[in-house]
Amino acid sequence: MGVDLSKPWFKNYPEEVPRSIEYDKRPLQDFLKDAAEKFPDKVAIHFMGKELTYEEVFNSAKKFASYLQGLGLEKGDRVAIMLPNTPQSVISYYGALLGGAVVVQTNPLYTERELEYQ
């Protein structure tokens, strides 16, 4: 197999590693729902000694989605998430998706000027 010159990193891939993968064409939040149904008690997040199961993450995300919708969120609205890598970041991300929003991840270290530009 020749190396795709537009993607030079392929030359570092072992031969058995595929260059692309087929993914299910469905919303990302469906994967969390599926995991919560199939593996409700499995640990989804381990953070600073605390563990959250898939069911806990999914239920928290649904609560956040309901909260956003209660504020007037409509399908396609943008929701900015400005959090570090914490469980709250994951929950708010999936909650916004479940609520129908388009998520805009924002660096929590951005200055006011950088946020305004974004």
In a domain, 10, yes or no: no
Mean pLDDT for the chain? 94
Contact call for residues 58 and 33 (beta carbons, < 8 A): yes
Q: What CATH number did the domain enclosing 63 receive?
A: 3.40.50.980
Q: What are phi and psi of 84, to 5 degrees?
A: -75, 180
What residues make up the domain containing 56?
24-117
Please tell me the distance from the alpha carbon of residue 69 to that of residue 55, in angstroms, as a whole number: 21
In a domain, 49, yes or no: yes
Domain count, the chain: 1
Q: Decide: helix, strand or coil at residue 63.
A: helix
Q: Residue 53, SS3?
A: strand
State the Cα–Cα distance between residues 36 and 69, nearest whole angstrom: 22
Q: How do residues 1-10 score in pLDDT, each as one tens digit?
A: 555 668 899 9
Tell me the pLDDT tens digit for each residue of 3-44.
Answer: 566 889 999 999 999 989 998 899 999 999 999 999 999 999
Counting beta carbons within 10 angstroms of the beta carbon of residue 54, is it exposed (0 to 12), middle (13 to 18) or buried (19 or more)?
Answer: buried
Residue type, 84: P
For residue 13, is it within any domain?
no
Beta bridge partners of 52: 45
Q: 67-97, pLDDT tens digit by residue?
A: 999 999 999 999 999 999 999 999 999 999 9
Unique residue bearing structure tokens 């129908």: 100
